[in-house]
Amino acid sequence: MIDRKKLNRKIKQLWAANKQIHRILHKSTSMEKARSGLYEYLWSKEQELFQARFTIHPLQKVNIRECIRVFKNILAPRNEVLTGYSVLLHLWRMAKMPRHKDILAVSPGFIEEMRHLFGAVSGISHMHSLKKIPRFLKYSGRKAARLRSNDLDRIYRHCERFMKRYHSGLEPDIIEKRINNKKRIMGVMRASETQWADWSWQLKHIIRDEVTLGKLIELTRDEKSAIRTAKVGRLPFGITPHYVSLMDQSGMSRTDHAIRAQVIPPLSYVEQMMEYQGDQIKQADFMLEADTSPVDLITRRYPMVTIIKPYNTCPQICQYCQRNWEIDDVMAEHALAPSYRIGYAVGWIRKHPAIKEVLLTGGDPLTLNTEDFEKILSDLSSIPHLERIRICTRTLVTLPQRFTSQLLRVLHTYHKP
């Protein structure tokens, strides 16, 4: 929690960014009056934008218009109901009752975001201040084009500087590091090259707890605690040995942060999911899967595209997955739906000629055995109106050993270029 002095300083900066907004909030005797006052203010700002005497650079204009739209959405009662949260209430309290106890719960990030939004609404975004207006806009023809081309070179160099912070797995030193990692992990797990290259060995040796993982890579206290808490709360967790070999042994390196973050949950996330337990459909189903499933195993949100989910497990659980709350465990037994349910779902697609594309997903369907996978593929490909079957898999990174010659033969059979 931020200390009171620092918070007051931040709030002062917030009001300085747009004195009119502060005045409206401060003068309003209720939150609803504040809402009406702010809407009126935003409408008048919008009108100003369209008046001829309002001379402003077009890029700045677009920015102001967009920020007004965002602020209106933030104020919308409907969005408050949907999110269960009122930004306006916090703003109004900050302006009316600066000593209210709830204000201490407001994060500096929230105030900073609001400060930028307030400033941008009144035209002070500093995005395109007069000095920064691109020079090419003052010219036309070849001269404008050359100046613009120089600007684009400059933008590229700027982006490149940032992108260089992120390493790629194709850099020679990272490739070497991973080869060494693999050897080290194989040593600890007493695995031969043949075993490592065998996808069923990888699946049998999925790492499911922080003690085993801690023997292969260094874990921070938070990482250990998150994995331990997930286990106690029966939240699925697992990592294939192959995927661990992509991580650096030391947790302090900058090169594997994204790789760890995909699979090692943050403690706050685990605690949140544990709070949802028993009520996960309501709380974690942010893609509204439950409301878009006309029959079991099918999700349909678009006219021509549908999802079929015959297999409800994966070798590891991705933290960003929109469906991970549906998965009971990594490589859970009995995760494959009974054939009559799969048949019913495939039959449903057959009866809907509007559907041209199907996503075969789950879980990760490529961790099914090849025969079961081929059966589903063959059933789907026999539907005349289906033009495309997309196989949704993470095995390319979690389990590349899965691409055996047998599987490649199956994929080749059903692939029509």
256 lines the binding site for ligand SF4 (CB under 6 A): no
Residue of 64, 317, 358, 383 interacting with ligand SF4 (CB under 6 A): 317
Q: Which residue is nearest to ligand SF4 (CB)?
A: 321
- State which residue, 246 or 317, has the beta carbon closest to ligand SF4: 317
| Choices 6-14, 281-289, 316-324, 368-376; region in contact with ligand SF4 by CB under 6 A | 316-324
d(CA 164, CA 167): 7
Phi/psi for 293 (5° steps) reads -110, 95
Cα dist from 246 to 110, 214, 355, 359, 397, whole Å: 35, 15, 38, 28, 9
| Choices 10-18, 270-278, 360-368, 404-412; region in contact with ligand SF4 by CB under 6 A | 360-368
User: To the nearest whole angstrom, how small is the minimum distance from the Cβ of residue 301 to ligand SF4?
Assistant: 17
Q: Are the C-beta atoms of 237 and 293 separated by less than 8 Å?
A: no
- State which residue, 127 or 396, has the beta carbon closest to ligand SF4: 396
- State which residue, 213 or 399, has the beta carbon closest to ligand SF4: 399
- State which residue, 123 or 362, has the beta carbon closest to ligand SF4: 362
- State which residue, 35 or 394, has the beta carbon closest to ligand SF4: 394
Residue of 323, 342, 386, 402 interacting with ligand SF4 (CB under 6 A): 323
| SS3 state of residue 307 | strand
Count of positions (residues) in the chain: 417
Identify which of 112, 103, 92 has the alpha carbon closest to the alpha carbon of residue 22. 92
DSSP track, 388-413:
EEEE---HHHH-GGG--HHHHHHHHH
User: To the nearest whole angstrom, how small is the minimum distance from the Cβ of residue 87 to ligand SF4?
Assistant: 31
31 lines the binding site for ligand SF4 (CB under 6 A): no
Cα dist from 250 to 133, 214, 282, 417, whole Å: 46, 11, 38, 44
Q: Are the C-beta atoms of 106 and 7 separated by less than 8 Å?
A: yes
d(CA 150, CA 179): 42
Residue of 123, 265, 362, 365 interacting with ligand SF4 (CB under 6 A): 362
| Choices 60-68, 278-286, 359-367, 381-389; region in contact with ligand SF4 by CB under 6 A | 359-367
253 lines the binding site for ligand SF4 (CB under 6 A): no
User: To the nearest whole angstrom, how small is the minimum distance from the Cβ of residue 308 to ligand SF4?
Assistant: 13
364 lines the binding site for ligand SF4 (CB under 6 A): yes
- Of residues 96-125, which lie at the interface with ligand SF4 (CB under 6 A)? none
User: To the nearest whole angstrom, how small is the minimum distance from the Cβ of residue 327 to ligand SF4?
Assistant: 6
Residue of 363, 366, 376, 380 interacting with ligand SF4 (CB under 6 A): 363
394 lines the binding site for ligand SF4 (CB under 6 A): yes
d(CA 143, CA 88): 48
* Sheet order of strands, 357-362 included: 298-299, 305-311, 357-362, 388-391
- State which residue, 217 or 314, has the beta carbon closest to ligand SF4: 314
Which tokens belong to 336? 């494959």
User: To the nearest whole angstrom, how small is the minimum distance from the Cβ of residue 66 to ligand SF4?
Assistant: 32
Q: What single-letter amino acid sits at 187?
A: G
Residue of 174, 186, 281, 318 interacting with ligand SF4 (CB under 6 A): 318
324 lines the binding site for ligand SF4 (CB under 6 A): yes
- State which residue, 310 or 362, has the beta carbon closest to ligand SF4: 362
321 lines the binding site for ligand SF4 (CB under 6 A): yes
User: To the nearest whole angstrom, how small is the minimum distance from the Cβ of residue 324 to ligand SF4?
Assistant: 5
- State which residue, 83 or 322, has the beta carbon closest to ligand SF4: 322
Identify which of 345, 235, 245, 331 has the alpha carbon closest to the alpha carbon of residue 280. 235
DSSP track, 272-306:
HHHHHTT-HHHHH-TT-SGGG-SSTTEE--SSSEE
314 lines the binding site for ligand SF4 (CB under 6 A): yes
Q: What single-letter amino acid sits at 194?
A: T
Strands 298-299 and 305-311: antiparallel
With CB under 6 A, what is the number of residues at the site for ligand SF4? 10
d(CA 113, CA 132): 22
Which tokens belong to 326? 């549906």
Identify which of 25, 122, 130, 5 has the alpha carbon closest to the alpha carbon of residue 75. 25
Which tokens belong to 92? 């109004």
Cis, bond preceding 141 (omega within 30 deg of 0): no
| Choices 248-256, 292-300, 310-318, 347-355; region in contact with ligand SF4 by CB under 6 A | 310-318
Please report, as ranges, the residues that interact with ligand SF4 according to CB under 6 A.
Answer: 314, 317-318, 321, 323-324, 362-364, 394
